[in-house]
Amino acid sequence: MSAVFCFSVHSEPSPSALPRVLEVFAHKGYVPDRCHSRLEGRDGQELSIEVQLAGLEPAEAGRLAKRLARIVTVNTVLWSEKKQCVERSSPSSSC
């Protein structure tokens, strides 16, 4: 199974923020598996953009995160590899 990387981008609520974030992925030929955005904070003072992308190497995910952080309106970029839960063979185990 290929790795899935999750990117959490927090930006000023600018109309150009979402297209600029997605452009980072498009520039490299990637189509995100999932993308979600919403206004957060008091009076919508921050735009939160969540992107998931499968099939990346960790080094490439790090390069994408650095490019995202250089976007003018972006304040914070968090990224991580999504881990898969592996269940034990006993029926009482849980994740």
State pTM to two decimals: 0.83
**How many CB atoms within 10 Å of residue 27?**
10
pLDDT at residue number 43 = 84
Strand partners, 63: none
| pLDDT tens digits for range 14-35 | 999 999 999 999 999 999 999 9
CA distance 41 to 72: 20
Is the predicted pLDDT of residue 72 greater than 50, yes or no? yes
What radius of gyration, in Å, describes the C-alpha atoms of the chain? 16
Domains belonging to the chain, first-starting first, are 4-80 (3.30.70.260)
**CB atoms near residue 79 (< 10 Å):** 19
| Helix or strand (DSSP H, E) at 53 | strand 46-54
Q: Chain-centre distance of CA 71, in angstroms?
A: 14
